[in-house]
Amino acid sequence: MTPRRSEPDLSYLLDHTSHVLRTRMAAELAEIGLTARMHCVLVHALEEERTQAQLAEIGDMDKTTMVVTVDALEKAGLAERRPSSTDRRARIIAVTEAGARVAAQSRRIVDGVHEAALDSLPEEEREVLVHALGRLADGHLKTPVEGPATARRARQKS
């Protein structure tokens, strides 16, 4: 009695693969004492002087999550809050030398997780997949639509 699908279940395919990719990344980053959010803050704070609010926006984190993340980085000696060199009212997140070393290590981990996923595909499909996902992310699926409730985790395949 179930109606037949007229299109592939794109939501499941994207949700499931994204969920599995995130769990693999989380497991590997945990081995060096980082979360994905900590990694995100470190690598983006290294790029240029950025405030906590700017880093929260880049990492799609709310204020509370960002504060907890930076607190953890400070406690680990990987980053610190400092006055901005360009705006004395603003405080930036500065990565310590130890943080820069860990960020380089975490970058290799993240790149390795991505590389392993792409390496599981035939070479000619890798570029097509990345290109197609990039077009969706920059085009039709660029902007989320606000709804009454947000989905929290990937659906499970039945």
Q: Whose structure tokens read 């989905």?
A: 151
Quick one: what percent of the chain has pLDDT higher than 90? 78
pTM of the model: 0.83
Contact 41, 55 (CB under 8 A): yes
- Confidence class for position 127, pLDDT limits 50, 70, 90: very high
Q: What is the mean pLDDT of residues 73-82?
A: 96
The larger pLDDT score, comparing residue 2 to residue 81, is at 81
Please state, in angstroms and as integers, the Cα–Cα distance from residue 148 to each residue in 41, 116, 142, following that order: 29, 37, 19
Q: Whose structure tokens read 């705006």?
A: 87
Name the amino acid, one letter, at 127. E
Distance CA 55, CA 67 (A): 11
Distance CA 8, CA 69 (A): 38
Please state, in angstroms and as integers, the Cα–Cα distance from residue 65 to each residue in 52, 93, 140, following that order: 11, 15, 29
Element spanning 154, H or E: none
Distance CA 76, CA 19 (A): 27
> Residue 41: pLDDT above 50?
yes
Structure confidence at residue 158 (pLDDT):
46
- As given in the structure block, the two tokens for residue 41 are 């803050």
Tell me the pLDDT of the chain averaged across its residues.
91
Q: What is the mean pLDDT of residues 116-141?
A: 95
Contact 42, 79 (CB under 8 A): yes
